[in-house]
Every structure is written in C-alpha cells, then in structure tokens.
Amino acid sequence: MISKQDFPTINERAPEGLKADGNPFRVLVVDDSMFVAKQIGQILTSEGYEVVATASDGLDGVEKYKELCPNVDLVTMDITMPKMDGITALEQIMAFDKNARVVMISALGKEELVKKALLLGAKNYIVKPLDRKKVLERIGTVLGK
Amino acid sequence: MRVEYINPFVEAAYNILTEVLGGQIKRGELYLKSTSMPVMGVAALVGLAGDVEGRVIFDMNMDTAMKIASQMNQEELKLFDDLAKATITELANLITAQAVTKLHDLGFRFDLTPPALFTGENMEISDHEVEALIVPMETSQGRVEVNVAIRDRM
C-alpha cells in the first residue's frame, strides 16, 4: 500500500508572508502606477502576504495608513507621486506611528531621496524594475523573517 | 546632437528591454531625422529641461505595445486599457531613469517630466531646430524606436 510518506514533499517551506501564528502580514501599497501596484500585489500575495489596501498618491497613502493602523504591518511607498510625494508621506506616517515599517520603491537615480527616506525612518528600499526575489528578500528582512 | 546624449538611452533601452521582456534584443541602425516624422501609434514622451533640453520618445505600434504590456504583466491583455497604458508608461520611466542616472554621472544636470502617452493613427512629430536621432530596438514583441532629440541649452 502506498502511504503519504512514499511521495516526496516538494514544498515544505512555509509561505514567507505568514506570521508565526499563521495569519498573513498585512501590507499597504502606495504607488501611482497601476502596473507597479499590481506587480507588487502579485509578488506579495503569491507568498501569502495580504494587500489590505492600495493608495495612488502619498496623501491617500497617509490617510489609509491612519485608518488601518494598527492593522497594517508594512507599507511599500513609491517616491514620485502626484498630490503628495513618497518622502512627505513617509514623514507623516512616521510622525503618526514611530514604529511604522515603510519600504521605499524607487526608480534608479533617486539615491539622494532614498538616503533621505532612510534617515527619516524608512526601513529599506527596492529599486525598480522589481525583481520577485529582491522584493521578497527586502520585505522579509524588514519583517524579521 | 552630441553622441554623449544618445548612448545612455541606447544602453538603458537595451538593458531594460532585456530585463523586462527577456529574449534577445537587437539594436538596428541609427538614423537621423531633422524634419517631421511619423509616430507609429503608441508613443511615450519624456521631456528634459536643465543643462540640456529636449525630449525622448519611445515609439511602437499598437500590436507591439499590447504584446509588451502583456509580457510585462505576464498575462494576455485584450485591450489597451489603463493597465496597459500604465505598463508602457512604466517602461518609459524605467529606461529614462537608467539613462538619466548615466547622464547625471557624466555631469549633466536636468529634470524630467513624467511620461505622457500618445496613442492614435497618422500622428507626426516635429522638433523645431533640434534633430532627432532614432535607435530601433528589435524585440520578440516587435520594434521599439527610441527617438532622442536633445540639445545643449541655448
């Protein structure tokens, strides 16, 4: 008789987006590009993360963070956005919640702004084009995975 | 037009198209245009202003734009909708950001406009007193022309 042990387990690894209690990490995605927001969402949800909300500008991002807090574990923040840029939005989120975990999503060539964001409290940054491995690695590091 | 301006765009277009589309990208022969020229159907335009001024257009036909947007989204898109437009705009952003980083490293200082996307048939573009250098890039999804018209600020 064939038992379960006879089949090799091909995927023993737990999804990175799950906390120790089995619940998903909750992420707020702030990006004015529908394409980039979708890309981040797909990468994160494929690893078990939950995208709890998306915002298409910094102002909307700050408002959504305030509404969701404390039920949000991480924010991905674009830098160049209409209405309010990502650096100002980061400042406002950090002023509201000093323990906020914000990861900046940057185009190449924004090194000065990325440095500024890190000094203001951003926990890490990811340079586009987005690479699945790099995104999961950086976000996992911030969440202590 | 100075060659220093064009090479970063050619290299960046090659690198980014290779990264986001996969497959082999071939660079065609450069050509120069000083009069008005047709635009293929989908054109993302980024303006530059500072030590240098001008614009860069990433030009392709609708079929190529749809195939590129589908490839970048890893799903077949049926319409040139907001998602497809955002995808082509992001492609222009990625190429321009990499090219501009190289130009900044060479000491040029200028700002960029966000990409504007034009779609339509029988469009032409004219650049007053700036010649445009066009670099065709052949991808598995079709031809993308990188059309650069930049000059030193007068």
- Domain total in chain A: 1
* Single-letter residue type at B127: D
Residues of B in contact with A80 (CB under 8 A): 114
Q: Which one has a higher pLDDT value, A112 or A117?
A: A117
Number of A to B CB contacts under 8 A, please give it: 41
Nearest-neighbour CA in chain A from B34: distance (Å): 31
Per-residue pLDDT of chain B (154 residues; tens, 9 = 90+): 677 788 899 999 999 999 999 889 999 998 888 777 778 899 999 999 998 889 999 999 999 999 999 999 999 999 999 999 999 999 999 999 999 988 888 888 888 898 999 999 888 888 777 888 999 999 999 999 999 998 887 7
Domain harbouring B148, CATH code: 3.40.1550.10
Residue A3 above 80 pLDDT? no
Domain harbouring A57, CATH code: 3.40.50.2300
Residues of A in contact with B86 (CB under 8 A): 33-36
Which residue range forms the structural domain that includes residue A90? 23-138
Question: Of A35, A107, A129, which has the smallest distance from its Cβ to B83's Cβ?
Answer: A35
Report the sign of the C-alpha dihedral through residues B22, B81, B118, B46, in that order: negative
Whether A144 is covered by a domain: the verdict is no
Strands (DSSP E) contained in A10-139 are: 26-30, 50-55, 74-78, 102-106, 124-127
In contact, B90 and B98? CB cutoff 8 Å: no
Whether A58 is covered by a domain: the verdict is yes
What is chain B's alpha carbon radius of gyration, rounded to the nearest angstrom?
15
Whether A57 is covered by a domain: the verdict is yes
Note if the bond before A82 is cis, omega within 30 degrees.
no
In contact, A127 and A106? CB cutoff 8 Å: yes
Which residue range forms the structural domain that includes residue B20? 3-152
Taking CA–CA distances from A33, the nearest residue in chain B reads B86
Nearest-neighbour CA in chain A from B79: distance (Å): 14
Entry pTM: 0.88
- Domain total in chain B: 1
Nearest-neighbour CA in chain A from B40: distance (Å): 23
Residue A53 above 80 pLDDT? yes
